[in-house]
Amino acid sequence: MKKSKGTVRLHAPAGIYEGRLYKHVQEYLGIKYAEAERFKKPKRLDESTEVYSALDYGPACPQSVEGLRKGTESEDCLYVNIWRPDEEPVHRRPVMVFIHGGGFNSGSNREALYDGKSLAARGEVVLVSINYRLGMFGFLDAENICGPERAYMKNLGLLDQMEALRWVQENIESFGGDPGNVTIFGESAGSISVTSLLAAPAARGLFQKVIAQSGVITGLARSVEDAVNISDQLIYKLGLHSMNDICSTPAENLVKTTVSFVNKNFTSNGPYNGSRMFAPTPDGEIIPFDVERAIQENAGKVQLLHGSNANEMHFFKLLIPELRQKKSVETYVLFYLRKYEHMSEETTMAVYHDYKKRYPKWSRSQIFMQMFTDRAFRLYHTELSELYSRAGGKVYQYRFSVEVRWLKACHGLELGYLFNTVKTAFSLRNRKLLGINESPGLTRRMQDAWVRFAREGDPGHGDIPEWKQYTKERPETMIIGKKWVPRRHDHAEDDFAWRARLAETYTRPLASRS
């Protein structure tokens, strides 16, 4: 851990913040951006001249009984962290706002993996990371017992994110940032979040660029039907009958029931997929029902960089027991594709045989894992590139293919390299177990690409091959590996297999509440 050189004070409209000074970087932790009352919209804070300590992280949203008891989690969780280069800028710096992942039911900006000192220092950017409400606290659909005036509750976590971006607009100039050049970026649930914000009318003007890492709202949104059913089951399990019941139930009870319910659904025996029980829900107001059209409306205004990892689903071996056993991989993948892609077993097996022809040396479980990765992640990112470029948008696509032992190029692996936190976020034991090591060259090239995109809307730089926009005529993907290689028509034969076997395109309209 880097040693602090002392403290530093900074004046902003929202208050005076005392942070830490490191070599080349100032760090401000746990800055409150809004009030969070249970199941109410985030309440904007008034301007202030008070001095606030910004030396420690704010609490995470409730997600474990242990965290609530320790005080590291709280319903009052709407905080940002900010890192900025120490030297005063000649011109306002680009702003990068990171939204963490965790399946919308776990995670926070407290995690060592997301420490922003390295990226802010190398990139000459102002880096912000935000918290937002999770699980029941951020994505509960309680209309059936609370009425339509509480319809926003199903997307409350997304409203928190928008409020954080408004706070950035009003205060970031005091930190040396340019409120007219804001890039939102996120991974997993954070990636679904930034593409949701790209579709949300109320978020327009709050950012100019988007970086989406492994997750797209068009494929991974929660349907209104699932939002209602999941929420109704949770409300029933808790014995709640009114808004008063929901607001008076101890947070520990809500968390305990939610965690148990989610864990039971990390199996093909549950009716849902545990990682997709909470998510932004197209509702016709906060997120339009026609998500694709809403995204295309931003094509001329917001630039897009996005992609996925080569072996996304290997990460989920850590969460889903069935993916750790070769004999049950097929069972789980068949369940997932039936539930979320409306694919029959016959269609799924036809795709399997298409893959088998192209990858004859792969085992049955290897093919199903790759089908799972492609269907749940890569295909939706390819579709987003096609959708956005077709509307005239500027879009760049990547595929991260750096592999480590057992988990290969899994979901989230790129984050340790991007933030340069492999050594601080993983213990020596876990680094040896996973086979993950620091890679200064990879970190340097990734940071430079992400920062240059944030600054100029183009990720290309002198240390990598030319990175061209993705267009219909030139569908190019940058393969990020030991070497960076631009590739046209990446996995085109696999894409064709899916398109040929499915009667519809990758996404279907999300039904509204009846």
Two structure tokens written together for 326:
């070769």
Instruction: Look up residue 360 and give its amino acid.
Output: P
Catalytic, 411? Answer yes
Contacts of 103 (CB under 8 A, 6+ apart): 188, 189, 274, 275, 276, 277, 278
* Separation CA 206–CA 95 (nearest Å): 11
* Separation CA 28–CA 22 (nearest Å): 11
Catalytic, 188? Answer yes
Note the residue count of the chain: 514
Instruction: Look up residue 9 and give its amino acid.
Output: R
* Separation CA 149–CA 253 (nearest Å): 25
* Separation CA 88–CA 115 (nearest Å): 21
Q: Which of 379, 409, 406 is nearest to 498 (CA)?
A: 379
One of 106, 108, 188, 231 is an active-site residue; which one?
188
Catalytic, 53? Answer no
* The Cα angle at residue 340 between residues 339 and 345, in degrees rounded to 5: 55
Q: What is the 3-class SS of 354-417, one letter each residue? A: HHHHHCCCCCHHHHHHHHHHHHHHHHHHHHHHHHHHHCCCCEEEEEECCCECCCECCCCCHHHH
Are the CB atoms for 417 and 443 separated by under 8 Å? yes
Would you say the C-alpha torsion 404, 410, 412, 417 has a positive or negative sign? positive
Two structure tokens written together for 427:
């213990």
One of 27, 73, 312, 330 is an active-site residue; which one?
312
One of 330, 411, 414, 476 is an active-site residue; which one?
411
* Separation CA 208–CA 178 (nearest Å): 11
Catalytic residues, which ones?
Answer: 188, 312, 411
